[in-house]
Structure 1
Amino acid sequence: MSASEGMQVLGVWVHNLKPELVELSETFALRWYGLAYLAGFIAGYYGLRWLAQKRLWVVGPEKVADFIAYAALFGVFLGGRLGYVAFYMIPENGWGYVLGNPLVIFQVWNGGMSSHGGILGLTIFTYFYARRANSSWTGVGDGLVIFAPLGIFFGRIANFINGELYGRVTSAPTGMKFPKELLGREEDFHAAMKDAVSVDPEQLDGLWNNYLSSPATGQGQLLEGVLESGRSNSAIIDAIAGYMQIRHPSQLYQALLEGFSLFAILLLLRLRFPHIGHGIITGAFFMLYATFRIIAEHFRE
């Protein structure tokens, strides 16, 4: 990221990271969010294979690849997406939105996965997997829960890069400004975007007029265009910075708590007590995850 992309306004960084790693065309791009899932699956595969080779998991090394593939499809993606639809999409938009366009359920490329749904999906998947393999359900879970936090870690980093799921207003030195908060404040959004467009009307007038004629669809496009232009013109970010509040980067807090710290504790527990009974590590995961999540909720918006 260049110096112009990481701009400081009165000593507070304004988040303006690009969510795409590589844009392959106007309609398709390689996004950090997708790479986060890929990194989680790769880490899970090699980690579980290592555990299996050391005989610290009830699943054999030769079965790890199939386990990860099915867990990714039926546990993470199916559970995570259905969880998002149930916990977020329907409450925010109503049943009519989903029933009127059922295909929206499968449009994961537009974003929208639930960590709670993913955990529930993996729990159900491991139950049926263990029954089919005639293995201990909690024994299967004991391996999975060690490396699942790495997926959470990568996912929260991707949330941060996307500038979503930001935290509460703060005066802490770790605070920063997230432009996406303007989407929930109509008057401030309008004023901020008007100021931004005045800095570079040649580049932004088209998006501004589109927003004025169709606010519902043009709002997101206008903000995206302003942020894109702001990566090469710091005056644009300066123009909108005053409309934003300083907030906790709670995504990073969660990455460290629910992600890396939870992974390290569970891995240490597995290595320190190799003959520990089935289910203890799984139980530790749920207790620690809940504890870390409660802590993180004090910082989340």
Structure 2
Amino acid sequence: MSLIQLAAAAAAQVHEPIHWVDLGLKNYLFRIGSFELRWYSLAYLAGILLGYWHLSRMIKAPGAPLAQRHADDLFFYCTLGIILGGRLGYATFYTGGDSDIPSMWLHPTELVQLWHGGMSFHGGLIGVLLALLWVSWRNGLNFVRVADYISVCVPFGMMFGRLANFVNGELWGRVVTDPNLPWAMIFPDAGPLPRHPSQLYEAGLEGLMMIIIMLPLFWKTRARFRPGLLVGVFTTGIACARFIVEFFREPDAQLAEFARNTGLSMGQWLTIPLIALGLVMIARALMKPELASGGAAMAPSAA
């Protein structure tokens, strides 16, 4: 048999999917008695700490609209916003109504039971925005410029969080239509059919891709002197990434019928306004003149 025939025969064979359990992953770093230090908790912590470290570096560059004490406040309040906003957003968007999960608002004690899972990206985003508004208002800072700086740091947490979802073997993707997809994967509790590892798609698009875009945009260009440009690029990019990934991500079980009836998942419907908002912010930022200097743009309280 010729090499061409051997290659054709090999290509005709159905690719064996990867079994997640064969990867030897576990959802915790170590266990002491009943206590487990879970990777998901570490992912949140790593994203927040790395974002704080990078923000502290950014404000040392010319043109910073805030000082270190403001970065310290943002570290605290944004952490609260991520946790509380994510949980309350999940209760609002993904429970009750047409879903099969009873509304958490009718069972308030479940809201604090974070160990049972359930965090909303859009809820966490709202929580962070409220934290930015509070810190900016209290310190007399320019909200849009503060949001510009924070937006550069957010993708770190997005990447770590999605990688933790993969390590946990949760939030898997839809069943693949191509049985020869090399990275198709069979996840525990997801049935026998191979699926898209959509957690890795999200880590790549919402995390790594946005890091590659946002960091050079801040450090290699003068984008930070155009208020709203950085946060506009971030909002558009992260929303487009989420919209695309939703085509491969398995809809939440309680909202599968909603997705079938509307043609789009709940995540996609919530993402469309973000795309529009981001594009408007980019257009406005490019239409206005660039700030003359960082010193002129810094709030008096940040000096």
* Offset from partner CA, 1:89-148 (integer Å, 9 cap, x none): 3333223x652x421101112222111111111112212221111111110100111111
Where in structure 2 are the equivalents of 1:128-167 lying within 5 Å?
Answer: 128-167=134-173
Q: Pick the aligned partner of 1:11 from 16, 22, 25.
A: 16
CA RMSD, 1 decimal:
1.6
Q: 1:30 aligns with which of 22, 31, 37?
A: 37
Query: Is 1:249 aligned to residue 257 of structure 2?
Result: no
Aligned counterpart in structure 1 of residue 57 of structure 2, from 28, 50, 69 = 50
Task: Please give the TM-score of this superposition, normalised by the length of structure 1.
Answer: 0.71
Q: What are the Cα deviations for residues 148-204 of structure 1, in whole angstroms up to 9, with x where unaligned?
A: 11111111001111111111112311111011214xxxxxxxxxxxxxxxxxxxxxx
Deviation of the 1:39 alpha carbon: 0.4
For 2:227, the aligned partner's letter is H
Contact kept, 8 Å, 1:164 with 1:180, in 2: the verdict is no
Tell me the equivalent position of 2:210.
262
Structure 1: 5+ residue runs without aligned partners?
A: 1-9, 183-243
For structure 2, the 5+ residue unaligned runs are 1-14, 251-303
CA distance in 1, matches of 2:39, 2:117: 11
What letter corresponds to residue 212 of structure 2 in structure 1?
Answer: A
Match of 2:234 in 1: 285
User: Corresponding residue for 1:215?
Assistant: none
1:11-67 deviations in Å (ceiling 9; x for gaps): 3222132112211222x2110110010001111110100001123531212332222
- Written as runs of structure 1 = structure 2, the 5 A alignment for 1:1-301 is 11-16=16-21, 17-26=25-34, 28-73=35-80, 75-90=81-96, 91-95=99-103, 98-99=105-106, 101-170=107-176, 171=179, 172-182=181-191, 244-274=192-222, 275-301=224-250
Report which stretch shifted further, 102-111 or 32-41: 102-111
Task: Indicate the SS of the match to 1:299.
Answer: coil
Judge conservation of contact 2:185–2:195 (CA < 8 Å) in 1: yes
TM-score (structure 2 length as normaliser):
0.71
SS at match of 1:180: coil
Alignment check: 8 A CA contact 1:136 1:278 kept: no
Matched-pair identity in % = 39
Structure 2 SS opposite 1:260 = helix
Judging by fraction of residues, say which structure has more helix: 1
Worse overlay, 119-128 or 10-19? 10-19
- Aligned residue type for 1:102: P
